[in-house]
Chain A
Amino acid sequence: MSEVALSAALETENTVWTEQDSWFDRIPRSVAMAALAVVAIGLWQAVSWSGLISPIILPSPGDTLRHLIFVGGNLLSGGYMLQSLWVTLQELVLSFALAVGIGFALGVLVGETAFGERAVMPYLVAVDTMPKVAFAPLFIAWLGFGIESKVALATFIATFPIVVGTAAGLHASDENARMLFKTMGASRWQTLVKMKLPTGMPQFFTGLKIASVGVMAGVITGEFLGGGRGFGELIRVASTNLDTARVFALILYLSLLGLLSFGLVAWAQRRVVFWQSASVAREVG
Chain B
Amino acid sequence: MLLKKLGLSLGVFLTIAASVTGLVIIPNWQFQGHQPMRKADGTQYPLPYFGEQAKGRAVYIDQGCIYCHSQQVRMKGYGADIRRNWGTRRSVPRDYMYHRPHQLGTMRTGPDLASIGHRQPSATWHALHLYDPRITSPGSNMPRFNYLFTEMRDGDALPVGAFPGDVIKIPPQFQNSGITQLVPNERGKALIEYLKALNQSFPLPEAQQ
| A and B found bound together | no
Q: Which residues of B contact A (CB under 8 A)?
A: none
